[in-house]
Structure 1
């Protein structure tokens, strides 16, 4: 986390405004870059094996000792490492969130290597015209070496949100799931592991589905996880489903496109089928940090995709217009700022 000011600093700098509080935002931006750099060199993974000096780390990681020591000192100030003399170790924060599976290292790297470079090239255009010259997915096609970084970033978030999602979505008694825009397949795999009688079909672009098939094979689910490559709004998505996921999809579509998506989902599902939508929503979140993050994410979606975060009431209306009833909202407490919306077809 970025440097946390103590009580005196908060009173003097933030409340009394006697010094520029914006310095904390600069520290926050610097922390993202520093964490991504440390992750690239394997600092967190190396320290997961045990504490070490900067000299020992430098020898293992092919880094300059003095430069690495400077980086580690800052990461200790920022709360990602602890320091005892010249020896560094993972902090509780990093031990919980930056190593192992799930972890946020890949999410930080995704922002550093994909989101921010795309932002630098397109944000001014978006502010002038309302949309980027190309979507981040088109940009990734022009920079194929960065696709793996993007996929790992998407998966990192999915792994963190999977358990809270399945705690609130009952997949028992279901037989066939359609995962619209499911990409890496992590949510479908989790649902199939929770219900041994469930089969899943992931519908997404062919580029993303290679990862879904690899993940399914690694989980021993190749016979139960199927894929359909194509356009969610135009191509065949199959039929006969009794459960549907549309996770982190609606923010990239226009209102008319989302209406079309939900209509297509309703046509593909059997009576009694349930569609589950996951996304961030305008003004949602139990704490101020979550609400601020959603506002930031909303503008980021505009830069990356020409998209936005929508109000819950808009998503509810699209679901009802497509024929779904009993629309319910679930704010995930273990993933603040993330909301599930469920709707069920009559029958």
Structure 2
């Protein structure tokens, strides 16, 4: 699906206004965050249809009248709120910023993980390196250092990652277990949430998590705490090291929101090594959010915006892909797609792959 095959049907006057919104977008973002952080949108929402006066907002937020008034005036221009005489009332956009879980997760992720580092987007694009990551440390990529990020940054990163994957679990588990796998190899298993979901779904399944040492330590600890440490093992592996072989005893290889973390060349290498570890009876299941497969334009917008995080903060060379790019890489690796399922969770696609005959 493509939302961009024809020009936007908008007047020149409105288009000029949209251009100004983009020019001031960082200001709009921070004003929104402050309206939420200081409870101003919540205060207005609680007041209901009668609205909330400036005096009441000042008293409850414990900010000065000046601070509240500049935030409220910009909030009016952004249509987060509207004003009835002397009272402020929450508008629809403000309602969703206040109540919608996706908006909260995205906003916290952008502020805590991306905002400062995005100043280096220009140099990241030129050099192919995540130069924005230096705001947190002198690291080449974000992945080996996730456990070392500041606590609030780490919290927002994992909430963002888990929010999108967790919404898909309910639909995915029956699809994954219809082939009755006994041994699942979770490639890039992160904190082990998928492994734990699998062991909870099937009391007989055994899961091997392939990942870096830092992530494995967290995942295996989580498995022990859940009482399934005997069915979850770690396979320490630098997935970018082409000399390292993959675990070769899996019935089903699982990659969830994983391949978007790598460049096309890296993805091809990972898929080839996976194929080398598979048998004719094995299968590889890939779960991703492709921007061209989103059911709504808002989804495509969020997915494409996430690509910029990869550019400036994560590794400088990966992105959220068009599905045709991934299908081509799968074929080049000696695999074919046996099943292709869209609209899982929040815009995910499941590709079930097997070795080419």
Separation (CA, whole Å) in 2 of partners of 1:219 and 1:94: 34
Residue 147 of structure 1 aligns to a residue in which SS?
Answer: helix
Residue 20 of structure 1 and its aligned partner are, at CA, apart by: 1.4
Residue 68 of structure 1 and its aligned partner are, at CA, apart by: 6.9
Residue 241 of structure 1 and its aligned partner are, at CA, apart by: 0.9
Residue 242 of structure 1 and its aligned partner are, at CA, apart by: 0.9
TM superposition score normalised by structure 2: 0.69
Separation (CA, whole Å) in 1 of partners of 2:39 and 2:172: 30
From the superposition, tell whether residues 320 and 28 of structure 1 become closer, same or farther in structure 2 (CA, over 3 Å). same
Residue 316, structure 1, aligned to residue 327, structure 2: yes
Deviations 1:63-122 (A, max 9, x none): 54765797689779979899996898x987468643xxxx6634432221112222213x
Deviations 1:261-308 (A, max 9, x none): 112223334432221112233633333333344433334423332213
Separation (CA, whole Å) in 2 of partners of 1:111 and 1:132: 15
From the superposition, tell whether residues 58 and 173 of structure 1 become closer, same or farther in structure 2 (CA, over 3 Å). farther
Separation (CA, whole Å) in 1 of partners of 2:179 and 2:35: 42
- Tell me what 2:350 maps to: 340
Residue 30 of structure 1 and its aligned partner are, at CA, apart by: 5.1
Deviations 1:37-87 (A, max 9, x none): 57767899x99xx958899999999x5476579768977997989999689
Separation (CA, whole Å) in 2 of partners of 1:55 and 1:219: 50
From the superposition, tell whether residues 256 and 21 of structure 1 become closer, same or farther in structure 2 (CA, over 3 Å). closer
From the superposition, tell whether residues 345 and 35 of structure 1 become closer, same or farther in structure 2 (CA, over 3 Å). farther
Tell me, which stretches of 5 or more residues in structure 2 are unaligned? 1-7, 132-139
> 1:74-89 residue pairs with structure 2 within 5 A?
none
Separation (CA, whole Å) in 2 of partners of 1:220 and 1:328: 34
Separation (CA, whole Å) in 1 of partners of 2:46 and 2:276: 56
- Tell me what 2:297 maps to: 288
- Tell me what 1:15 maps to: 11
Q: Is the 8 A contact 1:199 1:224 kept in 2?
A: yes
> 1:30-179 residue pairs with structure 2 within 5 A?
32-33=29-30, 36-37=33-34, 51=46, 64=63, 93=96, 97-98=100-101, 105-121=104-120, 123-133=121-131, 134-137=140-143, 143-145=149-151, 146-166=153-173, 168-170=175-177, 173-179=180-186
Residue 253 of structure 1 and its aligned partner are, at CA, apart by: 2.2
Separation (CA, whole Å) in 2 of partners of 1:247 and 1:81: 39
Q: Is the 8 A contact 2:125 2:311 kept in 1?
A: no
From the superposition, tell whether residues 200 and 139 of structure 1 become closer, same or farther in structure 2 (CA, over 3 Å). closer
Separation (CA, whole Å) in 2 of partners of 1:170 and 1:307: 30
Residue 224, structure 1, aligned to residue 260, structure 2: no
Tell me how large the CA RMSD over aligned residues is: 4.3
Residue 276, structure 1, aligned to residue 285, structure 2: yes
Residue 191 of structure 2 aligns to a residue in which SS?
Answer: coil
From the superposition, tell whether residues 252 and 125 of structure 1 become closer, same or farther in structure 2 (CA, over 3 Å). same
Q: Which has the larger radius of gyration?
A: 2
From the superposition, tell whether residues 147 and 281 of structure 1 become closer, same or farther in structure 2 (CA, over 3 Å). same
Separation (CA, whole Å) in 1 of partners of 2:81 and 2:201: 36
Residue 178 of structure 1 and its aligned partner are, at CA, apart by: 1.2
- Tell me what 2:339 maps to: 328
Residue 20 of structure 1 aligns to a residue in which SS?
Answer: helix
TM superposition score normalised by structure 1: 0.71
- Tell me what 1:4 maps to: none
- Tell me what 1:6 maps to: none
